[in-house]
């Protein structure tokens, strides 16, 4: 059975994701689509709009055959660790091809770019350090460093978010000595950071989230940008929950936790670097919303995404020592199945006896270092709920089986 692997967040699943699945299957002649999906907290340091289970159902209804979880320690990280964790899972699942969406849209230039930066690793890192000392954020410093190397104009632009991820996916394939073949699909119409919904049926997830959260609009406002199954799921969730998960719901908990921890303890939280915890603690007491806090906190060096990632680590209470232990192997230490259809079940049965990593459907009693952090992330995600609702959700974390879509 030929497989194609996708690394996803589906926050939420929209028409562009449906296009990606269909295009990836066609380009690779795959019989099955295997998705590694982030759980409760995402790569840009955000809580997912909807719980993991809702998004798994969207994925299966949208064409995925098997959905597994990207552990928290990788899902809430910068591009290189995010890629390392996801690629390691696809590799252990025996996936043939990794297919990612990109602004560039051609794989050969990516391969040339990776080879080029391998040979230019030392000057590239030196340029990054030099630009970082000038006060630039890491992404901006890396982009400026890349330009200093005078790359071929036909190579992918590493200031573009999906090109950056694609580059790191290929790097991870090489680092892990994986036999997977990289492939890419050009992103259709909407760009990753587009803030406004366009008139097209494909819109960015950013614009969809902005409509639902910042503009407080109902799912009817994004009806044309998502498959009908996603629209139904969003509408049902909105009807019964009243809103989607977002940072404003967590702010009072983040504020309370930050102000009641000692500065010394806060410095031990993962991602606390260069005195960031001091700035975080001194400024959070004067704000009443997460958005106003972030606006005041961000600088040329500290990007919004960088700050959100630290906020996630504070919320979950993830210590540097815990994170170091969880990622010391540089790959996932387990595979958790979130959902599958009959094709996905057939593929899983085919490869199970050859898999080296343990496979789980729920959190076990005796947890690996990565599962311990997954548990903390699940606990933190449901903090805004009432005590009774939290109790139900936390119990489901240990008892609810994967989704089986007939």
78 is in an annotated binding site: no
Q: What is the DSSP string of 57-120?
A: HHHHHTT-SEEEEEPHHHHTS-HHHHHHHHHHHHHHTT-SEEEEEESS--HHHHHHHHHHHHHT
Q: Quickly count: other Cβ atoms within 10 Å of residue 275's Cβ.
A: 9
163 is in an annotated binding site: no
Q: What is the DSSP string of 126-169?
A: HHHHHHHHTT--HHHHHHHHHHHT---TTS--TTSHHHHHHHHH
For residue 214, the model assigns a pLDDT of 87
7 is in an annotated binding site: yes
381 is in an annotated binding site: no
Q: Quickly count: other Cβ atoms within 10 Å of residue 59's Cβ.
A: 27
169 is in an annotated binding site: no
| CA–CA distance, 381 with 388 (Å, rounded to integer) | 15
DSSP H helices in 210-334: 228-241, 247-260, 263-266, 276-284, 290-297, 304-316, 320-327
246 is in an annotated binding site: no
| CA–CA distance, 406 with 391 (Å, rounded to integer) | 30
Q: Quickly count: other Cβ atoms within 10 Å of residue 47's Cβ.
A: 24
| CA–CA distance, 5 with 87 (Å, rounded to integer) | 9
101 is in an annotated binding site: yes
| CA–CA distance, 384 with 247 (Å, rounded to integer) | 10
121 is in an annotated binding site: no
At residue 303, the 3 state secondary structure works out as coil
Residues 6+ apart with CB under 8 A from 165: 7, 79, 82, 83, 100, 102
| CA–CA distance, 33 with 30 (Å, rounded to integer) | 7
Tell whether pTM > 0.85: yes
231 is in an annotated binding site: no
For residue 187, the model assigns a pLDDT of 83
φ, ψ for residue 401, nearest 5 deg: -75, 170
CB 255 within 8 A of CB 261: no
Task: Provide the residue-wise pLDDT of the chain in tens; the chain has 406 residues.
Answer: 999 999 999 999 999 999 999 999 999 999 999 999 999 999 999 999 999 999 999 999 999 999 999 999 999 999 999 999 999 999 999 999 999 999 999 999 999 999 999 898 899 889 888 988 888 888 888 888 888 888 888 899 888 889 999 999 999 999 999 999 999 999 875 444 444 444 447 778 888 999 999 888 899 999 999 999 999 999 999 999 989 999 999 999 999 999 999 999 999 999 998 889 999 999 999 999 999 999 999 988 888 999 999 999 999 999 999 999 999 989 999 999 999 999 999 999 999 888 989 999 888 889 999 999 999 999 999 999 999 999 999 988 888 999 999 8
| CA–CA distance, 324 with 361 (Å, rounded to integer) | 25
216 is in an annotated binding site: no
Strands 97-102 and 3-8: parallel
For residue 140, the model assigns a pLDDT of 84
18 is in an annotated binding site: yes
For residue 254, the model assigns a pLDDT of 97
382 is in an annotated binding site: no
Domain architecture of the chain: domains with CATH? 3-103+166-176+179-245+330-405 (3.40.50.620), 111-159 (no CATH), 247-325 (no CATH)
Cα–chain center distance at 286:
30
For residue 350, the model assigns a pLDDT of 94
63 is in an annotated binding site: no
């Amino acid at each position: 059975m030929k497989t194609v692997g996708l690394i996803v967040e589906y926050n939420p699943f929209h028409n562009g994701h449906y296009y990606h699945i269909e295009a990836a299957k066609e380009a690779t002649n795959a019989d099955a689509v295997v998705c590694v999906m982030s759980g409760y907290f995402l790569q840009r340091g955000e809580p997912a709009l909807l719980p993991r289970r809702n998004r798994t159902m969207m994925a299966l209804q949208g064409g995925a055959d098997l959905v597994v979880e990207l552990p928290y320690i990788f899902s809430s990280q910068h591009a290189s660790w995010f890629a390392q964790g996801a690629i390691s899972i696809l590799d252990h699942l025996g996936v043939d091809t990794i297919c990612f969406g990109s602004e560039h849209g051609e794989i050969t230039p990516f391969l040339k770019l990776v080879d080029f930066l391998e040979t230019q690793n030392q000057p590239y890192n030196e340029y990054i350090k030099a630009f970082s000392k000038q006060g630039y954020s890491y992404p901006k410093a890396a982009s400026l460093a890349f330009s200093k190397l005078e790359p071929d104009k036909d190579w992918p632009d590493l200031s573009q978010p999906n090109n950056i991820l694609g580059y790191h996916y290929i790097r991870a394939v090489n680092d892990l000595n994986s036999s997977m073949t990289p492939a890419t699909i050009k992103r259709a119409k909407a760009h990753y950071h587009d803030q406004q919904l366009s008139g097209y049926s494909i819109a960015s997830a950013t614009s969809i989230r902005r409509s639902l959260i910042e503009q407080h609009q109902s799912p009817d406002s994004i009806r044309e940008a998502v498959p009908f199954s996603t629209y139904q799921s969003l509408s049902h969730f909105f009807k019964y929950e009243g809103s989607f998960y977002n940072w404003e719901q967590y702010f009072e908990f983040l504020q309370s936790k930050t102000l009641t921890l000692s500065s010394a303890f806060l410095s031990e939280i993962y991602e606390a670097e260069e005195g960031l915890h001091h700035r975080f603690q001194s400024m959070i007491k004067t704000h009443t919303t997460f958005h106003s806090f972030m606006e005041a906190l961000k600088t040329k060096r500290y990007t919004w995404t960088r700050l959100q990632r630290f906020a996630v680590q504070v919320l979950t209470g993830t210590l540097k020592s815990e994170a170091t232990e969880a990622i010391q192997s540089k790959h996932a230490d387990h595979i958790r199945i979130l959902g599958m259809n009959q094709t996905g079940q057939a593929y899983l049965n085919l490869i199970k006896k050859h898999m080296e990593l343990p496979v789980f459907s729920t959190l076990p009693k005796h947890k690996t270092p990565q599962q311990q952090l997954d548990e903390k992330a699940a606990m933190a995600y449901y903090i805004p709920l009432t005590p009774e609702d939290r109790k139900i959700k936390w119990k489901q974390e240990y008892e609810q089986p994967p989704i089986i879509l007939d």
